[in-house]
Amino acid sequence: MKRTNATLADGREMLYFDDDDAADREVHDARELPGVSTASQLRLDPLLDEWIMMAAHRQGRTFLPAKDECPLCPSTGDRQTEIPSSNYTVAVFENRFPSLSMHAVPDRHAVNHPLVGFRPGLGRCEVVCFTSDHHARFADLTAKHARLVVDAWADRTSALSEIDGIEQIFCFENRGREIGVTLGHPHGQIYAYPFVTPRTRRMWEVARRYRAEAGGDLHSDVISAERAAGERILIETGHWVAFVPAAARWPVEVHVYPLRRVRTIPELTDAERDDFAELYLDLLRRFDRLYDAPLPYISAWHQGPVSDLDDLGYLHLQLFSVRRGPDKLKHLAGSEAAMEAFVTDVLPEDIARRLREI
């Protein structure tokens, strides 16, 4: 893999990833850009002990531009974009409208509440452009190209984990307007959080309790139980297993685990990365054939936090969709949005059967 570093006109870092060592990418950004906002802040919810990211400057971010105005397409002679080069394979750059910033210096007087913790929103948000083809989907990539994306995730996880104060790295993709995507170009994001996220913290608590009571690793035992049951297994390879979880929250939900327990993407071997690329493309293509239109989805990597002294992390991917029928969406209403108590409309075993049959 070849990595080429560049600096955008406003000082943000960007990188090109190529599997061809001869690839030559443009690194000069000729635009005139204003500085990136440094106003991100964190406020601690005293009722839930959870950090909330405040980034009011994101109200002005780019929203569903036409193809000829897409900021993630390659630059041309008469139009400069976020990508200075006229072509690229995979590109990663700091978000122009970040939820977190390494330069955050918010106004401390903005919070007038003795019980609400406050600190600058120090962290980093990156955009990962999967391909220069505006009309492609991740599912359209070749296995070799998808493997390059995995390598880019690994590279960024390693680099961002070295930043002082960063506690967790989250690689993800939002796909589809129904999810709230504001740019149609195939891309994902990476958040480097200065805290352990509520979902991961809860997983830790449950896994720690399970270890104390049952003496085993919760994730490993969940995988073993699903493999033994078999009815929710979708794909199993030499290195990975994909299944619909027995207690799925979402209408379409698949969890993907490596059979060898690792904590983070960088720990995956070459063989495991190659195998994942093939399996993941298979899954995404099944998702898009489930109904008559491409399925909106969120693809979320759960990696162990930077500091995992209790060794509770188990790398896995959770892939899920809000579509519960050809023309129906799962909206988070009262029980889900207010109480986080999910009600599902589709049995996991039925979705597993349908995805297997595709």
Active site residues: 187
CA dist., res. 307 & res. 164, Å (int): 12
Residues 6+ apart with CB under 8 A from 276: 150, 239, 240, 256, 258, 268
Residue 310 buriedness (CB in 10 A; 0-12 / 13-18 / 19+): exposed
Structure tokens at 104: 């955050």
Helix (H) or strand (E) holding 207: helix 198-214
The answer to whether the beta carbons of residues 240 and 279 sit under 8 Å apart is yes
CA dist., res. 266 & res. 263, Å (int): 9
Per the DSSP assignment, residues forming a β-bridge with 50 are: 45
The conformational region for residue 315 under phi > 0 = left, psi -120 to 50 = alpha, else beta, is beta
Amino acid at 121: G
Neighbours of 53 (CB within 10 A): 19
CA dist., res. 343 & res. 337, Å (int): 11
Helix (H) or strand (E) holding 157: helix 143-161
